[in-house]
Amino acid sequence: MSIETGLAIGCTDVQAVGGIQRVYIRKWNSTGSPDQLVIDGSNHTITSIADSGGTNSTWGVYETKIETADLQIAGTSENGVSTYECTLTFMLPNTDLTKLTRLQQLTNEPLMVVAVDSNGDPSTATNAAGTATHLVLGISNTLTGSDQNLDISASSHSGFRPQTFARIASIEGGTGAAFADQNGVTVTITCTQYELPRTYVNANAVTVSGTVATFK
């Protein structure tokens, strides 16, 4: 696919809905060895995310309060380098021990995140019609820049905790005071990438058991 082939907008594009319906999170190199990634440079996709020596990877499923999860991407170009600031926010209702413990574990860790939009089946990542888009944060094929041949390929850094990983930027909220006040916390995850977020595309379904998901 090239610039000269253009872009078409169909009926499903015009009717696309907003929001993030599911958030998956895992730690980089969670098994203690470099992760195995398959990145398709021609299609701007990631087709496999696996633990070292394995065929799949384990992710936490982070359920959120409906219509609170939001992904924003802000791109700028300066001195020949394009930078994309990606910000994912979501709300966890009820400030309790389980949520606070899990959030503390995520703090200061290098993270991979997949944010699934609301336009289809979240367990299917084939990029076919009627399937949701799986947007990946914290995995990038470039490290230092995206223009003027400054790129460092994924093979040079992806398995060794790249500097473009995602991280917890803020946790805000509390119990509220009045009975009608909101009780919960809003989590913000950010990453700085030198390319737009890639989509995860794989013919195998994302399997979910409780709050644990498996990606191929």
Residue 182 burial class via C-beta count within 10 angstroms: exposed 0-12, middle 13-18, buried 19 and up: middle
Return d(Cα 130, Cα 125) in angstroms, integer: 10
What is the pLDDT at residue 12? 84
What is the pLDDT at residue 37? 86
Q: 93: how many CB neighbours lie within 10 A of its CB?
A: 16
Residue 171 burial class via C-beta count within 10 angstroms: exposed 0-12, middle 13-18, buried 19 and up: middle
The order of strands in the sheet holding 212-215 is: 36-40, 45-50, 198-200, 134-137, 111-117, 20-27, 57-62, 212-215, 207-209
pLDDT at 2 over 70: yes
Q: What digits encode the pLDDT tens for the residues 60-103?
A: 999 999 999 999 999 998 887 888 999 999 999 999 999 999 99
Q: What digits encode the pLDDT tens for the residues 3-38?
A: 888 989 888 888 889 999 999 999 988 777 778 888
- Out of 1-5, 40-44, 136-140, the most confident range is 136-140
Nearest residue to 188 via CA among 117, 85, 118, 116: 85
Q: What digits encode the pLDDT tens for the residues 144-193?
A: 444 444 444 545 444 444 578 899 999 999 999 999 999 999 999 999 99
> Taking the model in full, what pTM does it have?
0.89
CA atoms within 13 A on the CB side of 171: 18
Q: What digits encode the pLDDT tens for the residues 47-58?
A: 999 987 778 999
pLDDT band at 194 (very low <50, low <70, confident <90, very high): confident
Can you tell me the mean pLDDT for 180-207?
Answer: 94
- Report the largest interatomic distance among the alpha carbons of the chain, rounded to a whole angstrom: 58
What is the pLDDT at residue 1? 60
What is the pLDDT at residue 180? 94
